[in-house]
Structure 1
Amino acid sequence: MKALKYLNQYLWKYKWYLILGTVFTIISNLFGIIPAQLVRYALDLVLETLDVYYLFNGTGLQTGVYDIFAFSILLYGLLILVMALLKGIFLFLVRQTIIVMSRHIEFDLKNDIYSHYQTLPASFFRRHNTGDLMARISEDVSNVRIYLGPALMYGMNLIVLFFLVISYMVSVSAKLTFYVLLPLPVLSLSVYIVNSMIMKRSQAIQKQLSGLSTFVQEAFSGIRVIKSFVQEDHSFSNFRKEAEDFKTKSLNLTMVDAFFYPIILLLIGLSNILIIYVGGQEIIGGNLTAGNITEFILYVNMLTWPVMALGWTTSQIQRAASSQGRINEFLDEKTTLVSDKNLIHSIAGGITFQNVNFVYPDSGIHALQDFNLDVKSGESVAILGTTGSGKSTLAHLLCRLYDPTSGEIRIDGIPMKDYDVHAFRRQIGYVPQDVFLFSDSIQNNVRFGTLNMPFERVEQAVKDADLYKNIMDFPSGFETMLGERGITLSGGQKQRLSIARAIARDPRILVLDDCLSAVDTNTENIILNNLKRIMENRTSVIISHRVSSAKLADRIVVLDEGRIVEQGTHAELMALNATYKELYEKQLIAEEV
């Protein structure tokens, strides 16, 4: 139950739902118990009236006795009907408080988890796959909701009913109550033994479900690759294996759950036998009436469903504890990207890297080594290098998706860590190497950085990215809906739309991470000419492996294994006759071919 302590804050928030639900549960059970007493009175009345009825056999008083008896039985019947109706009304109110409370908490918990996910650094998402993240915010939260709703409701009902029934039973006959409750220690022991089995198997199920969700998510995201390589059967075979493991683990848990019900029914039956046997002895001794025995049997049957639900409730509590433990595992993760001073003001765009080293925490790759670079405000710098030289790492650091392992990055002479994280990122225009577009309209994708952006800016940004003509060719124009991850568009169109999204927000620092790799040379020249105008008086960092993308920059920096090996203008680097010139000539030859 330690993991479930996290939910106490939500129970306190919705305490009035819980308090009213408890009150309604008590009232509904009171109206459920009273009919058993009415049945006792009615049965005793029948036995007593029969003796009187036959005593006045053949007299006029017999009719009067019968009329009083019939009226009394009718009255008891109507009272039992009224009690059942009132119990039903209060059961409805119980569900309208406890179940509604669980839905509110489910809503809040999902929002809190999603909000917390967004505060975590990029390294967290490198360590955990999407399927696992989705499983914890969907399946695990659903399990917790069942604990806070139906399981809590049935548990409260069992506790309230148990104490009310036992107190009434003891008031009638302590001896008979003792024999009725004799099987309960066996039930408690059974619950204790099976609980540990349920806990282990629930954890295994949740882990397997995360793996299954991850597999399905990857399969559907990469469906074009699967079809291209004709691996549908292999993919289905792998899915079937994962699903088979999930089925096996679920059946194992179901088998344990099913173990409860035969035991409970056996114990209930044993209680009824003891009631009839011991109660019969008490009737013979004159201590109890037949009505008392009937009342006890009704009480035991009242406990049948709640006690049968005990196994299900216990199982759900164990599942919820397992799920909440998995949720807490991520909620306990704290972001390292915090601001020291929370500075919020406009930046000019000066960037200084001072002895920056960066090692990826998950892989241990040393991406940058003693990196030093000074970029003046309004200057454009191109970062060139081969794959794995650390180019994209620079982009991640500039957007503060990571913090340097050592060294310092300064913006306008102020340490980057002093700026409020969100306020700083709002002044950055970032075009990632791996383009990601949302399943929304083209217009809304461009507006993503600034949701209230006027349409004129959207249109101009699209023109600057050389995408306007393509959009106008679509039947719906700017309202064209993109498929998942922008699948509606070609690779080059996706990159250009990503560029439009970055420049539309008018950033102070523009970071282009190899964003022209999927466009042809002609389109690249058009975009570069437009970008030249956009980059005026704006700090720009162009990351690329193509020399043609770097030529419009004021300065070119060549990286190799996380270190700067050359820097200068195009003419200066060509005169050095070293790495840059070799790279330039190779690409020139490739383009001519």
Structure 2
Amino acid sequence: MKELQHLNKYFLKYKTNLLIGIFITIIARMFLLFTPRYVKKIFIVIEKYFNEEMPIEAFKAELLEAILFIIGAAIIGGILTFFMRQYIINVSRYIEFDLKNEIYEQYQKLSLNFYKKNRTGDLMNRISEDVGRVRMYAGPAIMYSINTVTLFVIALIYMFEESPSLALYTIIPLPILSIVIYKLSKEIHRRSTIVQEYLSKLSTFTQESFSGISVIKAYGIEPQTSANFSTLAAESKEKQIDLARVQAWFFPMMLLLIGVSNLIVIYIGGMQYINGEIESIGTIAEFIIYVNLLTWPVATVGWVTSIIQQAEASQKRINEFLRIEPEIKNTVETDTEITGDIEFKNVTFTYDDTNITALKNINFHVKEGETLAIIGKTGSGKSTILDLIGRLYDIYEGSIIINKQEIDQVNLSNLRDSIGYVPQEAFLFSDSLKNNIKFGKEDATDEEVIEAAKNAQVHKNIIKFNQGYDTVLGERGITLSGGQKQRVSIARAIIKLPKILLFDDCLSAVDTETEEKILKNLNKITKGKTTIIVSHRVSSAKNANKIIVLEDGEIVQQGTHDTLIDIDGYYKHLYLKQLSETTSK
């Protein structure tokens, strides 16, 4: 159970509730165990009455007293059981809440490399299915374990007080039970781990299928996808059945051993009664009730063991991610003022997951308020530069200077708060259009939202929707066209009024006319702000203070638009090509 030790901090956090719950559990079980003693008393009273040792009035009075005690103990025990569940089970929900938040916070801290190496379905499974199994350990497993221990201890004490020899015979099956539980629990742990892994594979497969449903339909590969899912589901089913086969041994074994205990009580108790070793047949009835009161607790030993083994396997999977140290750390606690001065000095960057060197000895300087345009073919390293400015990756060769300081010496939260980023592939949330734009500035007014949308040339599209700005988008913004998604993403960035604006080929899906209008608006918005525009179009770059041309991760040309069109090279060829395309239209 070493993996489950991670939860100890939460048990300490809610120790008061747990201790109260444990105390109530013990008291509730004690009231429940009053029943066998009063059943024995009823047998003794009946025997005395039939042996004419007790008058009818006394017989009725004592019988009524015993019955009332049994009913009263049951009522009090039931009420206490209710409060027991309120305290202990509620704690498990609190722990589930805290653990999910802890995992989610860790997910937020982990770098892009982590998400490149792990699938979304697996990440979701660990924060849902795995946490759910851990919750069963933190609540029901603890509650039933306390129940079992309390019943065993008190019941055995009562049984040995009544008849030590009969009690000894009754507990003979228990060592066998312990051995069976030990053997089965090891196998359950192994198979539970495999089951959880397959659940993650299923979650990943379905998540990717739903996200890529348009591609699946476009290629007409629904039958193949269904067949692949069926194969994976069948494998998962077999692993679940393998686990169920082992778990299925528990209850039959428990019931068999309890049945054997009952037979032992009836046989040995009957012989002792005949031989006069026990004074009343009520003792046998009392022992049978004790044994049957222990039936559920003994049966739950197997169930609880299964829960703990599954929780151990799940917590191990959770801990694998919780133990990962974030690659990008905020090394500066004090606030850093960001003005927008950015400089790359001899920066070389290699992606460790692919070993591809995206940038080679990159040098440039963008002063505060200037605009830099980056032009180049696909895969030339343009987007990587933007990722490094946002410190989504750390570099190991060269220096990135922000405000005359090394980027890792700048407060990370301040750096990212000062950046407005428009990615190449616009990601919108399944929320209203208004909230998607306000994602850039949570407290923005409706007027600010509309103004940002107008500057991004998407306002006219939005007001045509039935619900306008309150229109709720489909997952990943599927409701909108590619150009509309890009423009909403631009609105989200500019509403923030950041010091640094990063545009990653964000106008690729809009027509030339709309591009001109957006660029005209951006020229006004970006005054006084450091702006870096990545693009395949010369029209997006021509007004920049400086332009750099990348090829295979290296700067092959740099200068202004006017200087570069006079130099034979990639920029001039691209300019002439796009100019001819525009003229022909």
Paired letter, 2:43: L
Matched, 1:156 2:141: no
Matched, 1:18 2:9: no
Give the corresponding residue for 2:238: 248
Give the corresponding residue for 1:453: 444
* 2: CA distance, partners of 1:353 / 1:394: 9
The answer (yes or no) to whether the contact 1:268–1:304 under 8 Å persists in 2 is yes
Aligned partner of 1:467 among 431, 435, 458: 458
Structure 1: stretches of 5+ with no match in the other structure: 54-63
Report the alpha carbon displacement of residue 239 of structure 1 after superposing the two structures with TM: 1.8
* 2: CA distance, partners of 1:297 / 1:339: 66
Report the alpha carbon displacement of residue 98 of structure 1 after superposing the two structures with TM: 0.7
Deviation string 1:30-73 (CA, Å, 9 cap, x unpaired) is 111111011112112222332125xxxxxxxxxx7122112211
Give the corresponding residue for 2:283: 292
Report the alpha carbon displacement of residue 329 of structure 1 after superposing the two structures with TM: 1.0
Report the alpha carbon displacement of residue 238 of structure 1 after superposing the two structures with TM: 1.8
Paired letter, 1:50: F
* 1: CA distance, partners of 2:507 / 2:21: 61
Deviation string 1:326-357 (CA, Å, 9 cap, x unpaired) is 11111111212223333424322110111212
Q: What secondary structure does 2:401 align onto? A: strand
Report the alpha carbon displacement of residue 395 of structure 1 after superposing the two structures with TM: 0.9
Give the corresponding residue for 2:491: 500
* 2: CA distance, partners of 1:524 / 1:266: 78
Paired letter, 1:252: D
* 1: CA distance, partners of 2:255 / 2:37: 24
The answer (yes or no) to whether the contact 1:344–1:424 under 8 Å persists in 2 is no
Q: How does 1:100-179 map to 2 (within 5 A)?
A: 100-179=90-169
The answer (yes or no) to whether the contact 1:441–1:482 under 8 Å persists in 2 is yes
* 2: CA distance, partners of 1:44 / 1:553: 103
Report the alpha carbon displacement of residue 197 of structure 1 after superposing the two structures with TM: 1.1
Paired letter, 1:173: S
CA RMSD in angstroms, aligned pairs only: 1.5
Give the corresponding residue for 1:9: 9
Aligned partner of 1:358 among 324, 339, 349: 349
Q: What secondary structure does 2:444 align onto? A: coil
Paired letter, 1:24: I
* 1: CA distance, partners of 2:338 / 2:7: 42
The answer (yes or no) to whether the contact 2:502–2:531 under 8 Å persists in 1 is yes
Paired letter, 1:434: E
Paired letter, 2:9: Q
* 1: CA distance, partners of 2:396 / 2:133: 39
The answer (yes or no) to whether the contact 1:35–1:83 under 8 Å persists in 2 is yes
Report the alpha carbon displacement of residue 215 of structure 1 after superposing the two structures with TM: 1.0
Paired letter, 1:185: P
Paired letter, 1:104: Y
* 2: CA distance, partners of 1:555 / 1:507: 20
* 2: CA distance, partners of 1:378 / 1:100: 55
Report the alpha carbon displacement of residue 474 of structure 1 after superposing the two structures with TM: 1.9
Q: What secondary structure does 2:55 align onto? A: helix
The answer (yes or no) to whether the contact 1:427–1:508 under 8 Å persists in 2 is yes
Report the alpha carbon displacement of residue 106 of structure 1 after superposing the two structures with TM: 1.0
Report the alpha carbon displacement of residue 479 of structure 1 after superposing the two structures with TM: 1.7
* 2: CA distance, partners of 1:472 / 1:183: 76
Paired letter, 2:39: V
Report the alpha carbon displacement of residue 228 of structure 1 after superposing the two structures with TM: 1.7
Give the corresponding residue for 1:60: none
Aligned length: 583
Report the alpha carbon displacement of residue 407 of structure 1 after superposing the two structures with TM: 2.0
Q: What secondary structure does 1:299 align onto? A: helix
Matched, 1:96 2:86: yes
* 2: CA distance, partners of 1:253 / 1:479: 48
Q: How does 1:538-557 map to 2 (within 5 A)?
A: 538-557=529-548
Give the corresponding residue for 2:561: 570
Single out whichever of 95-104 and 241-250 deviates more from structure 2.
241-250
Q: TM-score, normalised by structure 2?
A: 0.97
Report the alpha carbon displacement of residue 244 of structure 1 after superposing the two structures with TM: 1.5
Q: What secondary structure does 2:463 align onto? A: helix
Paired letter, 2:101: N
Structure 2: stretches of 5+ with no match in the other structure: none
Aligned partner of 2:212 among 210, 222, 230: 222
* 2: CA distance, partners of 1:339 / 1:29: 52
Paired letter, 1:213: S
Aligned partner of 2:366 among 375, 384, 389: 375
Aligned partner of 1:192 among 182, 195, 206: 182
Single out whichever of 375-384 and 171-180 deviates more from structure 2.
171-180
Paired letter, 2:547: I
* 2: CA distance, partners of 1:297 / 1:420: 71
Aligned partner of 2:477 among 462, 474, 486: 486
Q: How does 1:424-463 map to 2 (within 5 A)?
A: 424-463=415-454
Q: What secondary structure does 1:473 align onto? A: coil
Single out whichever of 95-104 and 470-479 deviates more from structure 2.
470-479
The answer (yes or no) to whether the contact 1:342–1:419 under 8 Å persists in 2 is no
Give the corresponding residue for 1:56: none
Single out whichever of 157-166 and 414-423 deviates more from structure 2.
414-423
Give the corresponding residue for 2:378: 387
Q: How does 1:322-361 map to 2 (within 5 A)?
A: 322-361=313-352
Q: How does 1:403-442 map to 2 (within 5 A)?
A: 403-442=394-433
Report the alpha carbon displacement of residue 476 of structure 1 after superposing the two structures with TM: 2.1
The answer (yes or no) to whether the contact 1:102–1:149 under 8 Å persists in 2 is yes
Report the alpha carbon displacement of residue 590 of structure 1 after superposing the two structures with TM: 4.5
The answer (yes or no) to whether the contact 2:332–2:412 under 8 Å persists in 1 is no
Q: TM-score, normalised by structure 1?
A: 0.96
Give the corresponding residue for 1:47: 47
Deviation string 1:396-428 (CA, Å, 9 cap, x unpaired) is 111111111322211111111122211211110
Single out whichever of 400-409 and 123-132 deviates more from structure 2.
400-409
* 1: CA distance, partners of 2:578 / 2:122: 42
Give the corresponding residue for 2:77: 87
Q: Percent same amino acid at aligned positions?
A: 48
The answer (yes or no) to whether the contact 2:338–2:414 under 8 Å persists in 1 is no
Paired letter, 2:552: E
Report the alpha carbon displacement of residue 576 of structure 1 after superposing the two structures with TM: 2.2
The answer (yes or no) to whether the contact 1:528–1:552 under 8 Å persists in 2 is no
Paired letter, 1:48: K
Deviation string 1:552-592 (CA, Å, 9 cap, x unpaired) is 21111011111111101122222220222233334444553
Report the alpha carbon displacement of residue 545 of structure 1 after superposing the two structures with TM: 2.0
Paired letter, 2:29: N
